Amino acid sequence: MRLEGALAAVIGFTGLLGLSFIAGRLGFLSNKKNNTVTNDTRQDDDLPLTKSSYVDLTAAITPDTVVFPGDPIFSTKQICSISDESFFNLSEMCFGNHTGTHIDFPAHVKKGGKVSNDYSIGELIGDGLIVDVPENMDSISRSLIMSQPILKNDFVFFKTRNSSLSKQGEFIEKFVYIEPDAARALLEKKVKIVGMDYISVDDFSSEELPVHNILLSNDVLIVENVELKGVAPGRGKFFVMPLNIPGMDGLPARVVMSR
């Protein structure tokens, strides 16, 4: 009787293993049919994994980062250091809210305008394009805007000869900018965000910032000091991710493009 009981137990256990195997195979086939990628299906040649290409368009922030004349310069101060027998490292950072690659909100030039927390992160993610501006152009004109395949709600970034200028070191006054008529053309195109590859969308000599006012007063946000050197023009998806600080007229942002 003991032998018969042992045999029954073995047979029962073997049956459970068989059922488990069958169920696993059925699950595998179901996942395969529905193109669901699981740990089991990752090795299946019939289900190749696709991966987007991400490009970082953000300039590094250092003590040498170019800022608009008069703006605060980035600096750090060591508060705690492992080298001084502390249990951890900790630093204090000081910089302006328009340092490095950054986004301008309407309150930057408009009294009572929208501020950082008036925009959800979803509004700062969208499709768009990088426009290649000819090297001989000192400014972006209306005719150039109208000749581009810009779509409604696009994020538009301009790659000019500014891209050859370093975002670190000496500030350069003669940079390519957007003409006011070109800004109005961008409004006609109904774009959402306009990006520039140097410190400002406006001419350096223009104290009243007409392009800032035209765009921001119409809820078109501005991203400045974008790093486009070595980045090919064309369409992509853009992610503009400012620091989560409420009530600000502008903030440093990480800007990434996927293609």
3-state secondary structure of 8: helix
**In degrees rounded to 5, what are phi and psi of residue 235?**
-85, 155
Q: Residue 198 corresponds to which tokens in the numbers above?
A: 């140097």
Maximum Cα–Cα distance across the chain: 102
- The total of other beta-carbon atoms located within 10 Å of residue 251's CB is 20
Torsion of CA 70, 228, 243, 78, to 10 degrees: -60
212 is catalytic: no
For 172, other C-beta atoms within 10 Å of its C-beta total 13
Q: Which of 98, 102, 108, 212 is catalytic?
A: 108
Sorted by sequence, the CB contacts under 8 Å of residue 124 that are 6+ apart come out as: 103, 193, 221, 239, 240, 241, 242
Q: Which residues are catalytic?
A: 108
